[in-house]
Amino acid sequence: MTLKTIQWLDNAVLIVDQTLLPAELAYERIETIESMRDAIKRLKIRGAPAIGIAAAFGLYLGARVLPDGHGNEVFLSALHNMADYLASSRPTAVNLVRALDRLTGKAAALTAGSVPIARIKERLLEESLLILEEDRRMCRSIGEHGFALLKGKKTVLTHCNAGGLATSEYGTALAPIYVAFERGRVIRVFADETRPLLQGARITAFELRSAGIPVTLICDNMAAAVMAQGKIDAVVVGADRIAANGDTANKIGTYGLAIVARAHGVPFYVAAPTSTFDPACASGKEIPIEEREEAEITDGFGRRTAPEGIEVYNPAFDVTPARYITAFITDQGVIDPPYPDKLRALFGQA
């Protein structure tokens, strides 16, 4: 990967503005919490791990302008308010809330120890940078474990974008593809376009072509036909939240893809770091599903494609039941079913 999704550079956050892809590769400099929330909400930065990192940096950007002399309790209260403000940007991805909880927890511990506010701010930045580096290591590890699992596979179908542009580097679902490419083994990727915002067409296809990896773009409704033709050896997708029983929330359309894969005997893998697992969520029924603006469907990319006044339902995610998932590819290794006991062990280890 040569593209850096998110960086801390010259006392600000630098992100790739993914709303402009593939027509333009442009970077946006973010210096305020308001700009960071807007970037997350508007999908300038997206992907569960990436928005977790972005939220952490966003909280620091908000904290650094708070006065140092108003007392630690006042500072901590303001920090929690800012965390709630950022958390409201996108409710489904657990990485976002987990990163914010991690920083507010760190600040609370330091406040209890009477650490000066100026030092607490420094520690928040250090923690954000640590989250960035941890994600990079986890994605690389996912790539290594997935590379071994996909031995002998020549083609992979993926949905949405779970590549380097959805994380700090390497990605989750695409990490095994990048590791294979580094080692001289080419795995061709079939990329669903991923309606309605076309993350597969705009982002997955863009980053794979930029890396020199062969990629074939298909419409979402072609996946079943392509599998029936024997063109797909495995499906690998990312995740935004994984419940304690293995039910997995990912971009809308993933559930249908899992059913189609089962019907055609194609293994269906979910690649995700341990930060995407939510042991507090018993099943997929408890995962909040974000609903987005009607215009994403009726006026996609600035052109009206539906009648005026039409009723629209636009959930951004769906939940794939654990029974359709062949295995999870994590930074801690590959997890096969049955999932509940194994995931409990993973949570303890993580």
- Decide: 164 and 196 in contact? Cβ < 8 Å: no
Give the pLDDT of residue 193.
Answer: 98
Dihedral over Cα of 325, 170, 93, 222: its sign: negative
Rounded-to-integer distance, Cα 45 and Cα 17, Å: 6
Q: What pTM was estimated for this model as a whole?
A: 0.93
Question: What are the percentages of helix, strand and coil residues in the chain, rounded to 5?
Answer: 45, 15, 35
The string of pLDDT tens digits covering residues 279-324 is: 999 999 999 999 999 999 999 888 999 999 999 999 999 999 999 9
Which tokens sit at 213? 């990896």
Is the confidence at residue 276, as pLDDT, over 60?
yes
Average pLDDT of 13-33? 97
Give the pLDDT of residue 31.
Answer: 98
Beta strands in 90-226 (DSSP E): 155-158, 188-192, 215-218
Give the pLDDT of residue 199.
Answer: 97
Give the pLDDT of residue 347.
Answer: 80
Q: Catalytic site residue 240?
A: yes
The string of pLDDT tens digits covering residues 80-100 is: 999 999 999 999 989 999 999
CA 100 to chain centre: 15
- Decide: 26 and 16 in contact? Cβ < 8 Å: yes
Is the confidence at residue 350, as pLDDT, over 60?
no
Domains (ranges, CATH) in the chain?
Answer: 6-138 (1.20.120.420), 143-349 (3.40.50.10470)
CA distances from 120 to 45, 56, 106, 123, 126 (A): 27, 14, 8, 5, 10
The string of pLDDT tens digits covering residues 121-140 is: 999 999 999 999 999 999 99
Average pLDDT of 43-64? 97
The string of pLDDT tens digits covering residues 211-269 is: 999 999 999 999 999 999 999 999 999 999 999 999 999 999 999 999 999 999 999 99
H/E stretch holding 140 reads: helix 117-149
Mean pLDDT score of the chain: 95
Burial of 300 (0-12, 13-18, 19+ CB in 10 A): middle
**Active-site option among 135, 192, 240, 331:** 240
- Decide: 49 and 275 in contact? Cβ < 8 Å: yes
